[in-house]
Amino acid sequence: MCSSTIPSSFYEAKRKLRDLGLGYETIQACKYDCVLYWKEFADLQHYPTCGEPRYKEGSADMRWHRDKRVEKDDVLRHPANAEGWKHFDSEFPDFASDPQNVRLVLASDGFNPFGQMSTSYSMWLVVLLPYNLPPWKCMKETNFFISLLIPGPKSPGREIDVYLQPLIEELKEL
């Protein structure tokens, strides 16, 4: 059955095009419209007309996992060297093809905010970390995104997925 609805997001539109077998090519342009990074300009790092850098400060770090990681031995130097990362890339090649797509890890831990173990109360912190960054930056506190605080008389345990639903919906919109 064919749906005639307009995609609700850019991501959904890209997915529909892919499902139809229609590809697309992303071509970057200068913010001043002086040049496209295309053909002979595809690999330039500065715009040839205005001299502006192609990427803002920090964006090179977000491509580190693709551009600069070392993969010459069996040492796990970065999550990008892990089998899970490679499996994800093989399952989602469209996502993996763009090195600026953000790869996030979700971490959670709980604590008693009152500092007394006899008090029945817990606070669970859910944090997102960008794994695109180099190893010396991806685990720095300045790159942690506190996404949820789950308060309650006990830990969410196996039911944490209930609390994660709003976060997952929001991430899907990105």
Residues 16 and 29 in one domain: yes
Do both 22 and 77 map to the same domain? Answer: no
Percent of the chain predicted with pLDDT > 90 = 9
Q: What is the pLDDT of residue 4?
A: 65
According to the model, what pLDDT value does residue 56 have? 66
Tokens of 111: 């604590």
> Are 23 and 106 contained in the same domain?
no
Average pLDDT over residues 131-159: 86
Whether 60 and 33 map to the same domain: the answer is no
- Which of the listed residues 54, 74, 95 is the one where a domain comes to its end? 54
pLDDT tens-digit readout, 56-110: 666 778 888 777 777 777 777 788 888 888 899 999 998 888 887 888 999 998 8
Tokens representing 23? 């590809």
Distance CA 58, CA 42 (A): 20
What does the chain look like in DSSP terms, one character per residue? Answer: ----PPPSSHHHHHHHHHHTT-------B-TTSS-BS-GGGTT-SB-TTT--BSS-TTHHHHTHHHHT---SSS---SGGGSHHHHHHHHH-HHHHT-TTS--EEEEEEEE-TTS-TTS--EEEEEEEEETTS-HHHHTSGGG-EEEEEEEESS--GGGHHHHHHHHHHHHHH-
Mean pLDDT over the full length of the chain: 82
Q: What is the pLDDT of residue 90?
A: 93
pLDDT at 117: 64
Higher-scoring residue by pLDDT: 115, 92:
92
User: Among all chains, which residue has been given the structure tokens 């994800």?
Assistant: 88
- In this predicted structure, what is the pLDDT of residue 81? 81
Of 54, 71, 89, which marks where a domain is finished? 54
Domain encompassing residue 88: 55-173
Q: How far is CA 41 from the centre of its chain?
A: 27
Let me know whether 31 and 63 are in one domain: no
91, 137: one domain? yes
Tell me the β-bridge partners of 146.
127
Question: Are residues 10 and 94 both part of a single domain?
Answer: no
Looking at the 3D structure of the chain, how many domains does it have?
2
